[in-house]
A = this chain, B = another copy of it.
Amino acid sequence: MQGNKLEFSEGFLFTDLYQLTMAQLYWRTGICNKRAQFDYFFRSYPDYGSHKAGFCIAAGLGSIIEWMQKARCGEKEIKNLKQVKSRSGRRLFEDNFLNWLKENGNFEGINIRAVKEGRVVHPVEPVAVIEGELAVAQILESPFLNIMNYQTLVATKAARVKEAGGSNPVLEFGLRRAQGKGANQGTRAALIGGADFSSNTAISFELGFPPKGTHAHSMVQAFMALGADELAAFTEYANLYPDDCLLLVDTIDTLESGIPNAIKVFEKLKSTGHKPVGIRLDSGDLAYLSIKAAKMLNDAGFGDTMIVLSNQLDEMVIWQILSQIKRDAESYGVDPDDVINRLAYGVGTSLITSRGASALDGVYKLSAVKDGGNWSPAMKVSQTPSKMTNPGFKKLWRIYDERGKASADMIALSDENPETEYELKLHHPIESGKHRTVKKSQIKKIEPLLADIVKNGSVCGEIESIDKIRETRQKDMEMLDTGVKRPVNPHIYHISLSRKLWKLKQQMLEENEQ
């Protein structure tokens, strides 16, 4: 994702105004340079209404790092901030602060420890810990949340769609219904989470994936408006793309017109030594039509052509289509596997906008401030227990059971080392009495999840390629229990606090009540 300088509207001031008013306060009170830690975490899995995720896939880190490296408080930013008025009519930001901001308005002092992109993550746990000077780390909050929340949301949805579709290809088709320019970040996240290709041309090039696509109804319509017909349109398409001939068959009537015409064209292609690719179905009962299409194509000797499905697909629709094919195909004289194995899924709106759960509730909360050499824990108390944060400088561990499956994540304080403990006491993050003990003998591996990703604004090692991140996701998905991956009513994965962190939290709550 190389590019020019950031546009003004996507640069340093792609943030909420209050980050800047708070930064000025930190500057004014002399605490702006104190080192602070903020945790990025989300509170709950995406809930799509009738179903809910049981895991998420971390995504967005590469994009936020890229942004941080380009975003600077320059002349134009300062000039605009000078225009902001107080209700008194005077300027809201004073010159000395703006001078400080011009010098310090960059992310060269930021460190990030984070769970790598593509990994499975869960609510409450710190997916990233951002450390930097208080004022600058505060300004970073809004862009950080913007990028991480959306990409994690879409990567999660893509992983669910990919799970539902088995080993068949998933094509990301959402550009036209995406929420504006977010489309490109959505495509990136979809590829991380499970989509194999995208129709979005430019971003596919940038990410090193060949863009994919066929044709639309308008092609057939254009030929018809000019006095020709569907068969003529298909024929011309096949002449131009003899080895890439995938025909959309529902412009007029799928079974009566589209498929018969496609078969005519395929026969001609075959006779000239080309292999037709297949058809796309974009309306009607996709399960029924897939079976009928497979039958018609088989009978015509095209048993190896693809059937691409599109039209409001998501993980639930795909699941239902596959169930129906399994149940019904034989009654139409087709082997269900013969239908299913040739399917590909074109997934649009539901994936790129995460329909049903259009936002991840990720937050960026102060967890510690360095005061006189020591990290002093910070906590948000709340009347809603689920809104309380976990204080202090923390680490995150994943515990694998005897089978090697991920069985729990544990949030601990940074000076704890669960690898050396004889047994682990895992506390429920909110419910007071709820805890369990895991013996060392029940644990195959304990893995630290937070890695140093950014030191002083620079990436530690390389920014990972999307291909590499996809491998990470695949491996992590294999470590998850099937129950946790279930599309509906998933089994609950254990997220827990170490005994020491739990005690610190209780102690801070008590101090607050005094």
Q: Of B31, B240, B369, which is within 8 A of A25 by CB? A: B240
Contact partner of A380 (CB less than 8 A), chosen from B87, B146, B199, B217, is B217
- Does A358 interact with chain B (Cβ within 8 Å)? yes
In angstroms, Cα B175 to Cα A145, docked, is 8
Q: Convert A423-442 into 0s and 1s, putting 1 for each residue whose CB lies closer than 8 angstroms to a CB of B.
A: 00000000000000000000
CB of A493 within 8 Å of the partner chain: no
A178 within 8 A of B: yes
Cβ-defined contact, A218 with B284, below 8 A? no
Shortest distance from the beta carbon of A279 to any chain B beta carbon, whole Å = 14
Give the complex CA separation of A380 and B216 in angstroms: 11
Given A9-B203, A210-B85, A353 and B359 contact (CB-CB distance below 8 Å): yes
Are B1 and A4 in contact, with the CB atoms below 8 A?
A: no
Chain B residues near A476: list those with CB within 8 A.
Answer: none
A: interface residue count bin: 35 or more
Closest chain B residue to A37 by CB distance?
A: B225
Docked complex: A82-117 residues within 8 A CB-CB of B? 83-88, 90, 92
Inter-chain CA distance A151–B181, complex, in Å, is 11
Known interface pairs A353-B179, A353-B358; A210-B84 also in contact (CB < 8 Å): yes
A239 to B30, CA, bound (A): 14
Report how far A38 CA is from B355 CA in the complex, Å.
Answer: 27
Q: Is A182 an interface residue (CB 8 A)?
A: yes
Is A167 in the interface zone, CB < 8 Å from B?
A: no
Cβ contacts A16-37/B at 8 Å (1 or 0 each) = 1111111011101101001010
In the complex with contacts A226-B34, A241-B86, A359-B177, A236-B28 CB distance below 8 A: yes
Contact at B177–A186, with CB atoms within 8 Å?
no
Query: What's the Cα separation between A419 and B433 when bound, in Å?
Result: 76
Q: Is A200 an interface residue (CB 8 A)?
A: yes
Flag if A214 contacts B251 (CB, 8 Å): no
Q: Choose from B26, B200, B384 the contact partner of A222 (Cβ within 8 Å).
A: B26
A13 CB contact (under 8 Å) in B84, B180, B202, B226: B202
Interface mask (A193-226 → B, CB under 8 Å = 1, otherwise 0): 0000001111111100011111111110110111
For A275, the chain B residues whose CB sits under 8 A away are 87
Known: A18-B216, A145-B177, A211-B17. A355 touches B365 (CB 8 A): no
- Does A496 reach chain B (CB closer than 8 Å)? no
Known contacts A176-B145, A283-B384, A10 near B377 by CB under 8 Å: no
Considering the complex of A and B, which 9 residue pairs feature the smallest CB-CB distances, nearest first? A182-B182, A180-B182, A18-B213, A17-B213, A13-B202, A180-B185, A179-B182, A225-B378, A179-B179
Provide a sorted-by-A list of 7 A–B residue pairs whose CB atoms are within 8 angstroms: A16-B175, A21-B214, A22-B218, A176-B362, A178-B179, A222-B369, A225-B376
